[in-house]
Amino acid sequence: MPTRRDFLASSTAALAAASIPPHPQPAVQRAASRRARPTVIASSNGLRGVTLAYDQIIAGADTLDAIIAGVNIQELDPDDQSVGLGGLPNKDGVVQLDASCMHGPTKRAGAVGCLEDIATPSLVAKAIMDYTDHIMLVGDDARRFAIEMGFTPQNLLTEKTRQDWLRWRARLNAGDAYLDYDGDVDIKFTTGTINMNAVNSAGDLSSVTTTSGMGWKVPGRVGDSPIIGAGQYCDNSVGAAGSTGRGEANIKVCGGFLTVEFMRQGLAPQAACLKTLERVVAMTESRLLDERGRPTFNLEFYAVHKDGRYGAAALYSGSEFAVCDARGPRIEKSAFLYET
């Protein structure tokens, strides 16, 4: 028979346990306990990339390795003049590249800015993440680091891009010493980039953004792509997001970070992208607004949630994005704030 001392001790313990209210499991932890839908989302120039990345993720590859392999397709494509080899140069005719990446499971990141002569800045950003205690390297020192890590330098200015640069330079002003090209010439101007974000079935996330930046930019200009929290951001407990378009506008709102934070607050990926764009409009200076108070540039965000939901939104209608999941690779229409 239990003694009175035993009874009192057990009763006291039971009472103490009953008085402690159950601690609710945070929503992100509940989501993490469920299996996610493997999903890869990217800007519209990433259709081939999301296909490759998704296949690698399904085969067991790390999410960051997979999406970097995906963006490498565009970096090495000389016909994509917004990234890597063949990217539009700065005003001096020099191709300068930017990139950054984040790895959700390890909470690590890497970035590179104003990199010359190396076609795959996304891989250089990952090398900085993997092999140094730093996050960002820039300019000549970034180039030297890349070569020390085994990257092969090459001329990134293709003949096609060089001709476009010559046409742009010849039309700077009528009184310069350069002869104008005959006929109507479409002078290219791009803020194009490729951003890619992914989640696997375990809910592990990664993000990467890579670009040659704004065409004909001032030498040394760095946009949002290599800035952690702007061009891309990844939080393994919530989701990942990134952008393409006018980087200067995105830097001011830390758009990648802000989109992930909106998802943390419970917004779906598409709604989070739209909410970030509203903040972009609010932070746009008057000289970049039209007579109706709308930005004179475009900017697009892409986001994937930890559970596999995804979405994208742009300032203006007509934008598209690439996505790949169990339904296969495809191009979808982005949500938008304004009709064009």
- Please report, for the domain that includes residue 194, its CATH number: 3.60.20.30
Kindly state the tokens that stand for 150.
């085994």
Q: What are phi and psi of 37, to 5 degrees?
A: -95, 115
- Is residue 314 domain-resident? yes
The strand ranges marked E within the chain are 39-43, 97-103, 108-115, 136-138, 194-199, 205-211, 232-235, 239-245, 299-305, 310-316, 320-325, 328-333, 335-338
- Is residue 15 domain-resident? no
Choose, from 193, 211, 276, 284, the residue flagged as catalytic.
Answer: 193
What CA–CA distance (Å, rounded) separates 319 from 312? 9
- β-pair partners for 194: 210
pLDDT in tens, the chain (340 residues): 555 455 445 544 444 444 444 444 454 444 444 689 999 999 999 999 999 999 999 999 999 999 999 999 999 999 999 999 999 999 999 999 999 999 999 999 999 999 999 999 999 999 999 999 999 999 999 999 999 999 999 999 999 999 999 888 887 766 656 556 555 555 555 556 999 999 999 999 999 999 999 999 999 999 999 999 999 999 999 999 999 999 999 999 999 999 999 999 999 999 999 999 999 999 999 999 999 999 999 999 999 999 999 999 999 999 999 999 999 999 999 999 999 9
- Is residue 7 domain-resident? no
- Is residue 102 domain-resident? yes
Looking at residue 19, what is its pLDDT? 41
**How many helices (H) and strands (E) in the chain?**
10, 13
Looking at residue 178, what is its pLDDT? 59
- Is residue 22 domain-resident? no
Task: Please state, in angstroms and as integers, the Cα–Cα distance from residue 150 to each residue in 20, 114, 146, following that order.
Answer: 58, 19, 7
Task: Based on the residue annotation, tell me whether 193 is a catalytic residue of this protein.
Answer: yes
- Is residue 180 domain-resident? yes
Domain that includes residue 195, residue range? 34-338
- Is residue 3 domain-resident? no
Looking at residue 174, what is its pLDDT? 62
What CA–CA distance (Å, rounded) separates 99 from 251? 14
What CA–CA distance (Å, rounded) separates 205 from 103? 7
Cβ neighbours around 79 below 10 Å, total: 10
Q: How many structural domains does the chain have?
A: 1
